[in-house]
Structure 1
Amino acid sequence: MVSQLTRVTNFSELEVKQWYRLFLKDCPEGVLGEERFVTFFCNFYKRGDLEKKKALATQIFRTFDRDGSGSVDFREFLCGMSALLRGTTAQRLRWAFNMYDLDRNGSLSREELLNVLKLMYELQLTRRFDPDDPDEIRRAESHLEMMTEQIFQALDEDRDGQLQMREFVEGFRRNPSLLRLNSVEMTT
């Protein structure tokens, strides 16, 4: 198993073994269930709306759970971590696409992209701003709507209102400045 995971991930044999020990420490039964993941995620992010944190955690979990079994085994976990931590730009973009694809139909709508961006931004917002301030919420939502529109304008080649995996990955690779849109400060 170690040599196979070394071939399909960006981790060395030693790193695979270290990850495995850590995974078994937290998941002695060898799998990570959705409920446990969601609880861990929500506890890690102390502030913010609990239901929104659960929604984002569930979507992240589903992205790791590639076979849709309702649990993440070590292989799924390590492949996901490899893409996130050491993956190429294309691997990271494919992982992000799968996270944004809420209905798992293989394409992204504006609404899907905007919903996940809002969930992610809220977690960031709670660390920097008062999440109960209606002006800050309005500015954040306006910023995210603008961001979503810019992404679709740049990437939706066939103008069908849906982003396919190829459009998403190749579009961001051709337009790396779009990846920095979410770092733009929200101003009035």
Structure 2
Amino acid sequence: MPLLALYTSPQTGVIQDGDKFSQASLLRLYHRFRALDRNKKGYLSRMDLQQIGALAVNPLGDRIIDSFFPDGSQRLDFSGFVRVLAHFRPIDDDTGVRDPKQPEPLNSRMNKLRFAFQLYDLDQDGKISRHEMLQVLRLMVGVQVTEEQLESITDRTVQEADEDGDGAVSFLEFTKSLEKMDIEQKMSIRILK
């Protein structure tokens, strides 16, 4: 069965141009998927993903794993695996004009920012509250910073990004605060190109 058929499913439809992986990359991803599926179930569970060393040591590892299981699902098929990893595909250098009627590629700057935003928006209400920011920063810095310093960093971060003064950071405010950051580079895994 061609890998393109494995990546196309009734839930996801046809692969969009910007979401495409090369056949070689799809093959590598498929082998990785099968290696993670130690019990040969045909799908991955949270426990399978927790075996990935880089996620096990990443302070946001649990949040990243959650992104593979939207809507509380317990099973991750190959197309879902590829769909999440498509966010980390480097953005193509060609500057061709994209058809505005087509969905934005998963690896676009905006979709990379949406993915990053969801890691902070713990209650999924569309805003990053001070409490959510504090929780994520606490995960990221661990015991390297005192609680007082962490609260000060949190307050300053929210205050600088919060343009409308509601005490939280909306997605629009989040994108504005990161407009100078090379998110395309920071959220790319070159080996998947």
TM-score, normalised relative to structure 1: 0.65
1:62–1:8 CA distance, 2 compared to 1 (3 A): farther
Which residue of 150, 154, 159 corresponds with 2:156? 150
Whole-Å separation in 2 of the counterparts to 1:118 and 1:110 = 12
Aligned residue type for 2:84? G
Instruction: Name the % identity.
Output: 29
The count of corresponding residues between Structure 1 and Structure 2 is 154
Gaps of 5+ in 2: 9-13, 91-106, 183-193
RMSD: 3.0
Other-structure match for 1:176: 181
Per-residue CA deviation, residues 136-177 of structure 1 (Å, 9 max, x unaligned), is: 441xx445434323332232121111222222123311x539
Other-structure match for 1:93: 113
Contact kept, 8 Å, 2:130 with 2:154, in 1: the verdict is yes
Other-structure match for 1:72: 76
Other-structure match for 1:16: 26
Other-structure match for 2:100: none
Aligned residue type for 1:26? L
Gaps of 5+ in 1: 123-130, 178-188
Q: Select the structure with the greater relative contact order (CA < 8 A; seq sep ≥ 6).
A: 2
1:62 aligns with 2:66: yes
TM-score, normalised relative to structure 2: 0.64
Per-residue CA deviation, residues 6-43 of structure 1 (Å, 9 max, x unaligned), is: 63525223212221121122123232212333354599
Whole-Å separation in 2 of the counterparts to 1:59 and 1:176 = 22
Moved over 6 A (4+): none
Aligned residue type for 2:141? Y
Contact kept, 8 Å, 1:60 with 1:99, in 2: the verdict is yes
Whole-Å separation in 1 of the counterparts to 2:26 and 2:169 = 34
Aligned residue type for 1:169? T
Aligned to 2:128, the other structure's residue is in SS state strand
